Structure 1
Amino acid sequence: MKSQFFLDKNITFLNHGSFGACPKPVFEEYQRLQLELETEPVYFMQKSLVGYLKTARERLSKFIGCDATDLFFTPNPTFAINIVMRSLKLQPGDEILTTNHEYGAMDRTWNFYCKKSGAKYIRQNISLPIVSKEQILEEFWKGYNSKTKVIFINQISSATALIFPVKEICDKAQELGLITIVDGAHVPGHIDLNIQDLNPDYYTGTLHKWMLAPKGSSFLYVKKEFQNDLEPLVVSWGYESDAPGESQFLDYHQYQGTNDVSAYLCTPKVIDFLSENNWTEKSRACKQIVLDNYQRFCDLLNTKPICPITTAFLGQMASVPVRTKKPAELKELLYDKYKIQIPVMPINGEIYLRYSINAYNSQEDLDVLYKALQDIIATTDLIEV
């Protein structure tokens, strides 16, 4: 599969989780659409685009388990959550319950909103190591009280790479009458996703990570009862449109002026590529490599796993605790000297070395990492063991 990607052959690439990687057939479709746009931009923007977007939404909706009229494309999940955030009508003192494992950009988004609204962002501690799903649920709901109005949670955390029991959290939140917002940036194409089964009020996911789309392709799903409450982040021609489309929801959010949305339009090609290359089986093999190597790296670094080493908690990436006082220097050394692209991620006072495995990776890539860490431990003081 490595030949299907443009990735630099001189780099051991273990960081798919950050920005993904686009296969050549999908990228060729991306460029074809861009060329079509440039060949006749007026016709493309005024005639072709609406149909292309509808087809892309329909294909995506079947892939993620929801109705095609309940989602629209966004450049990234941060953009999507900003839309949701600005449409909430919380009062001073109302609380948004989340965990201390959320993505940094999301924490900043909610902190911004809380300064404006007077609401409070409650980062409930989920302690490590995780021992069970029940532990996560028990610790999470300790943050709930009568002031809680919104639940915000990532389905797979970025820094710690943990899979959270979002289905159980959404079910209880619905019973309590809470608004549920799920950040599924790492989910589509990575683990099974059926949005109707999860039953959140809002769900955002990324296509340019594990689904392999070109950069800048994500979506926001909104349950029908909340769609008319959602204000456009950018007001454009769809607002109070002279030629209304199939729904106000799509009019307000689907088209926001001149913009190259070719990445969105590649969605059918993306899904075809995954199907033609038996991606479910490839993903399963990648997950097995992740599991097979996790304890090995913990042993090398003299640290302990942060969760049970099973697919209940780990997908195609894993975060290994590493004791270092210089995470930025460690990351730079791994890249500059050993040609390994891998994040060294700080969160909650701890540091994690997070490796991602996709179909273009092999056991040999992790062996390269292992040998590099052995050398760093033997020759520098960057890692404490």
Structure 2
Amino acid sequence: MRDLFLLDPELVFLNHGSFGACPREVIEAQQRWQLEMERNPVDFLGRRSAALLLQARSALAAELGADPEHLVFVPNATTGVNVVTQSFVLAPGDEVLSTNLEYGACDAAWQHVCAAQGASYRRVDIPLPFDADSFVERLLAAVTPRTRLIYASHITSTTALTLPVAALCRAARERGITTLIDGAHAPGQIALDLDAIGADFYVGNCHKWMCAPKGAGFLHARPEHHARLDAPVISWGYAEGTGGHTGFDAYLGRTLFERRMQWQGTRDLSAWLAVPAAIAFQRRHDWPAVRARCHALAREALDALTQRHGLQPIARDADWAQMVAIPVPAQDPEALRQRLYAESGIELPVTAHGGRTFVRISVQGYTRRGEIERLLAAPALC
């Protein structure tokens, strides 16, 4: 499968989790959309775009177990988180509850918004090794009468742990607490059913594990929340009239959710329109079997390195998927990353959490066993 991607053949690429990697045929699908747009930009953007985006959203929604009317495209999961953070009204003294496992950029978004409204952003420590069975109870034990929203990742970035978000959302709903789930790493890496998960808001990336082009993400919101969400850019979807322009509905869409979120000025829609091509690519290659092979290969690396260094894994097999954080002796993470790249041609992130150092490897369909062997033979890890 490596030949189906555009990756440098000399590179050991074990960092799919950061920005993804796109198959050649999906990039070509994106380029066809770009060329079609340039043949008549007015027709493409001004008259066809809403229908084209609906078709793409419908394909994505079918893959994610969702209603396309409850889902809109955004450039990335961080944008989706910001839509919710900047739309969510908090009173002084209110709090947003989270964990110490979250993505730093989204932590910053909540810290900024809470500070501006006199609210607090409180993170619960989740001990490692990770105990999935006690996660929900531990988080809910920190709930107070002022808790308005719980924010958590589906798959964490630094530690690559899969959190039991369906159980969390169910328990939060029973207590009248809103939930926002950050699924940046989930679509394509694990099977998803957003309606079954039941989050009030769920954001995700298509350009990571679904292998869509860069800049393809989504925001899913339960219908009772659509009216409270504001787009990052206020545009024609908010206008009461069209200022003398005609045909605006052709690109604004039909629902309030579409009209507010979909049109924010001229931009390239091709990454979103190529998402169905990425879904078709994975279906054609039996992606559940690919995921299983990738997990097994990652497990070999985990076993070898933890046994070599006398360290314990931070989670059970069931608590991670194609991406795993492997503990290594504590050291300067950036220095180790640079050594792996300079000495062995290995591209992967070295992360740190709670005083521990991890090499976080991503195993995707294009990963060859020989690349795992090069990682295990790297002088920096011996």
TM-score interval w.r.t. the shorter chain? over 0.9
Alignment of 1:1-385 (within 5 A): 1-130=1-130, 132-240=131-239, 242=242, 245-308=253-316, 310=317, 312-372=318-378, 375-376=379-380
Contact 2:99 2:125 (C-alpha < 8 Å) held by counterparts: yes
Query: What code does the residue aligned with 2:25 have?
Result: P
CA distance in 2, matches of 1:322, 1:92: 43
Helix, strand or coil at the partner of 1:204: strand
Which segment drifts farther, 317-326 or 222-231?
317-326
> How far apart are residue 352 of structure 1 and its match?
1.2
Unaligned 5+ segments in structure 1 are 379-385
Distance in 2 between residues matched to 1:299 and 1:174, nearest whole Å:
42
CA distance in 2, matches of 1:117, 1:346: 31
Aligned residue for 1:320, secondary structure, equals: strand
In structure 2, give the amino acid aligned to 1:367.
Answer: E
Amino acid at match of 2:325: S
Which has the higher mean CA deviation after the structures are superposed, 321-330 or 214-223?
321-330
Question: TM-score scaled by structure 1?
Answer: 0.94
The AA in structure 1 aligned to 2:277 is K
Deviations 1:267-297 (A, max 9, x none): 1111111111111211111112222331221
- What TM-score comes out, normalization by structure 2 length? 0.95
Q: Deviations over 1:128-163 (max 9, x none)?
A: 012x32222232222211111101000100000000
Tell me: CA distance 1:50–1:362, structure 2 relative to 1, closer, same or farther (3 Å). Answer: same
> Which residue is equivalent to 1:383?
none
Distance 1:114 1:255 in 2: 28
Aligned length: 373
Query: Any idea what SS the aligned residue of 1:221 has?
Result: strand
Q: CA deviation at 1:303?
A: 1.9
Against the structure 1 CA distance between its residues 376 and 231, is the aligned structure 2 distance closer, same or farther, given a 3 Å change threshold? closer
SS in 1 for 2:237: coil
Structure-2 separation of matches of 1:86 and 1:19? 25
Letter in structure 2 aligned against 1:341: E
Output the CA distance in 2 between the equivalents of 1:227 and 1:101: 28
Range with bigger deviation, 100-109 or 294-303: 294-303
Farther off after superposition, 233-242 or 147-156: 233-242
| Structure 1 residue 350: Cα displacement | 2.3
**Cα distance in 2 between the residues matched to 1:261 and 1:350:** 41
Q: Counterpart of 1:156 in structure 2: which amino acid?
A: I
**What code does the residue aligned with 1:233 have?**
P
Say which SS state the counterpart of residue 228 (structure 1) adopts.
helix
Deviation of 1:322 (Å) = 2.0
Paired residues of 1:122 and 1:143 also in contact (CA < 8 A): no
Which stretch shows the higher mean deviation, 327-336 or 206-215? 327-336
Residues of 2 paired with 1:35 and 1:192: CA distance?
A: 33
Q: Distance in 1 between matches of 2:375 and 2:279?
A: 31
Q: Per the alignment, in what secondary structure is the counterpart of residue 352 of structure 1? A: strand
Residue 218 of structure 2 aligns to a residue in which SS? strand
Name the counterpart of 2:245.
none
Alpha-carbon shift at residue 251 of structure 1 (Å):
0.2
CA distance in 1 between partners of 2:71 and 2:314 (Å): 35
Alpha-carbon contact 1:4-1:23 (below 8 Å) kept: yes
Give the superposition deviation at 1:377: 5.2
Letter in 2 for 1:173: A
Q: What secondary structure, in the 3-state scheme, does the structure 2 residue paired with 1:108 have?
A: helix
> What is the CA deviation profile of residues 202-235 of structure 1, one whole-angstrom value per residue up to 9, with x for unaligned ones?
0001000000000010000010000011112110
* Aligned-partner residue type, residue 380 of structure 2: I
Give the AA of the match of 2:190: I
Q: Distance in 2 between the 1:334 and 1:376 partners?
A: 6
- The DSSP-based 3-state class of the residue aligned with 1:161 is coil
The alpha carbon displacement at 1:324 in A equals 3.5
1:246 Cα deviation (Å)?
A: 1.7
CA deviation profile, 1:142-188 (whole Å, cap 9, x unmatched): 22111111010001000000000101100000000001100001111
Give the whole-Å Cα distance in 2 for the aligned partners of 1:94 and 1:360.
Answer: 46
CA distance in 1, matches of 2:137, 2:303: 26
Amino acid at match of 2:89: K
Report how far residue 366 of structure 1 moved.
Answer: 1.1
**Structure 2 residue runs without a partner (length 5+):** 243-247
For 1:226 and 1:113, locate their aligned partners in 2 and report how far apart those are by CA, in whole Å.
19
